[in-house]
Structure 1
Amino acid sequence: MSERALLKPETMTGTQLDPVEYAVVSQALMAAGREMGVKLIRSSYSNIVREAQDASAALFDRTGNVVAQAELIPMQLGPMSDIFRACAAVVPPEDLKEGDFYINNDPYRGGQHLQDVFIFSPIFVSNELVGFAGTVSHHLDLGGGNPGLSPDAVDVHAEGIIFPPSVYNFSRDWNGGPLERLVAANIRVPDQTIGDFYAQFAANAIGAERVKQLCEKYGTDSVARSMAELIDYSERRFRAALREVPDGEYYGEDAIDDDGLSDEPLVVKVKVKVQGDSVHVDFDGTCPQVRRNLNCPWASTISATLAAIKATLTSADIPFNEGVKSAVTVTAPEGCLVNPIYPAPVRARMLSAYRCFDAVLKALAQAVPDKVIAGGNDSTHSTAISHLSGSRYKV
Structure 2
Amino acid sequence: MTDHADDPITATVIQASLVAASDEMFAVLRKTAMSPIIYEVLDVGTGITDKDGELVSSGAGIPTFVGVLDKAVKRIVGLHGLDSIRDGDCFVTNDPYYGGVTHLNDVVIAMPVFAGGECVAWAASIAHWNDVGGRTPGSMAVDVSEIFQEGLRLPAVKLFEAGRPIASVFDIISANSRMPDFVRGDLWAQVAASRKAETRIRQLVETYGAAAYHAAIDDLFREGERRGRAGLGSIPQGVYSIEEEQDDGAIWRASITVSAERFTVDLSGNPQQRDAPYNTSRDGAVISCQMILKALTDPTLFANAGSFRALEVVTEPGTIFHAEGNAPHGYYFETRIRLYDMLWRCMAEALPDRLPAGHFASICGTVIAGDHPDTGRRFTMVEPQMGGWGATAAGDGLDAMYSTSHGETFNCPVEICEARYGIDVGHKRLNETDEGQGWHKGGKGLSVNYRPRGCAVLSAGYSRNRQPVWGLAGGASGGTNGLSVRRRDGSLERHAFVSGLVVEPGDEILIDTANGGGWGQMQGRG
TM-score (ref. length: structure 1): 0.89
Alignment match, 1:394: 379
Counting aligned pairs with the same residue, the percent is 28
Alignment match, 2:256: 272
SS in 1 for 2:137: coil
Residue in structure 2 matching 1:300, options 276, 284, 295: 284
The structural deviation recorded for 1:278 is 1.7
1:57 aligns to 2:46 (yes or no)? yes
- Aligned ranges 1:1-395 → 2 under 5 Å: 17-110=6-99, 111-148=101-138, 149-169=140-160, 174=165, 177-258=167-248, 265-317=249-301, 319-387=302-370, 393-395=378-380
Name whichever of 80-89 and 53-62 sits farther off.
80-89
Check whether the contact 2:47–2:58 (CA below 8 A) recurs between aligned residues.
Answer: yes
Which structure is larger by alpha-carbon Rg, 1 or 2?
2
SS in 2 for 1:320: coil
Name whichever of 305-314 and 14-23 sits farther off.
14-23
Between the aligned partners of 2:69 and 2:245, the Cα distance in structure 1 is 26
Spell out, residue by residue over 1:191-247, the C-alpha distance to the aligned partner (whole angstroms, 9 max, x if none).
Answer: 101111111101001111111111121112211111121111111110111022222
Structure with the greater relative contact order (CA < 8 A, sep ≥ 6): 1 or 2?
1
The structural deviation recorded for 1:49 is 0.7
SS in 1 for 2:124: strand
The structural deviation recorded for 1:40 is 1.1
Between the aligned partners of 1:30 and 1:331, the Cα distance in structure 2 is 31
Give every structure 1 segment of 4 or more consecutive aligned residues whose post-TM-superposition deviation is greater than 6 Å.
389-392
* Structure 1: runs of 5+ lacking an equivalent: 1-13, 259-264
The structural deviation recorded for 1:15 is 8.4
Q: How many residues matched?
A: 374
Between the aligned partners of 1:80 and 1:339, the Cα distance in structure 2 is 18
RMSD of aligned Cα (Å): 2.1
Between the aligned partners of 2:356 and 2:8, the Cα distance in structure 1 is 37
Counting helix residues as a fraction of each chain, which structure ranks higher? 1
Spell out, residue by residue over 1:293-317, the C-alpha distance to the aligned partner (whole angstroms, 9 max, x if none).
Answer: 1112222211111112211332314
Spell out, residue by residue over 1:20-75, the C-alpha distance to the aligned partner (whole angstroms, 9 max, x if none).
Answer: 11111111111111111111111110111111111111011112111000131111
The 3 A distance-change label for structure 1 pair 16 and 169 is closer
Between the aligned partners of 1:254 and 1:209, the Cα distance in structure 2 is 48
Between the aligned partners of 1:295 and 1:27, the Cα distance in structure 2 is 37
SS in 2 for 1:131: strand
Between the aligned partners of 1:381 and 1:393, the Cα distance in structure 2 is 23
Between the aligned partners of 2:137 and 2:358, the Cα distance in structure 1 is 33
Check whether the contact 2:282–2:322 (CA below 8 A) recurs between aligned residues.
Answer: yes
Spell out, residue by residue over 1:230-267, the C-alpha distance to the aligned partner (whole angstroms, 9 max, x if none).
Answer: 11111111011102222211112334302xxxxxx233
Give 1:184's aligned amino acid. Answer: S
The structural deviation recorded for 1:138 is 0.8
* Structure 2: runs of 5+ lacking an equivalent: 381-526
The structural deviation recorded for 1:183 is 1.0
The 3 A distance-change label for structure 1 pair 141 and 181 is same
Counting strand residues as a fraction of each chain, which structure ranks higher? 2
The 3 A distance-change label for structure 1 pair 255 and 118 is farther
Between the aligned partners of 2:267 and 2:319, the Cα distance in structure 1 is 9
The structural deviation recorded for 1:173 is 6.3
Name whichever of 82-91 and 385-394 sits farther off.
385-394
Check whether the contact 2:26–2:45 (CA below 8 A) recurs between aligned residues.
Answer: yes
The structural deviation recorded for 1:99 is 1.5
The structural deviation recorded for 1:154 is 2.0
Between the aligned partners of 1:388 and 1:367, the Cα distance in structure 2 is 51
Between the aligned partners of 1:155 and 1:344, the Cα distance in structure 2 is 5
Check whether the contact 2:49–2:121 (CA below 8 A) recurs between aligned residues.
Answer: yes
